Amino acid sequence: MPKMKTHKGAAKRFKVTKKGKIKHYNAGHSHLMSGKSAKRKRKKRHATVLSSSVSGNIALLMGVRTAPPAPTPSQESIRKAQAEAAKAAKETK
């Protein structure tokens, strides 16, 4: 099966955070700024995270896995497993 290709237009416009969220920069910040309020211009300075309804489509274009990683075991289950292993080790001696 051939490799999936990244959509280069999407790759230039979106970035993926470490947690897998998709970040984008707001449109309307390049010119005609004098007619926009200071609050509006200030909010357009920073990148924002895409909503979950749209991010799935963008993730497909970028070839990014959107499913959350497998859950890690809880501390309680780890302690139980360690206790059982220690008990089994004592019984074998």
Q: What is the pLDDT of residue 80?
A: 87
Q: What does the pLDDT look like over 11-40, one tens digit per residue?
A: 999 999 988 889 999 999 889 999 999 999
Task: Let me know the angle formed at the C-alpha of 52 by 48 and 55, rounded to the nearest 5 degrees.
Answer: 75
Chain-wide mean pLDDT for the chain?
88
Q: What is the pLDDT of residue 13?
A: 94
Average confidence (pLDDT) over 53-66: 88
Rounded to whole angstroms, the Cα distance separating 78 from 56 reads: 34
Q: What fold is seen in the domain 8-92?
A: Factor Xa Inhibitor (4.10.410)
Strand intervals (E) in 1-93:
14-16, 22-24, 48-49
pTM: 0.61
Average confidence (pLDDT) over 62-73: 75
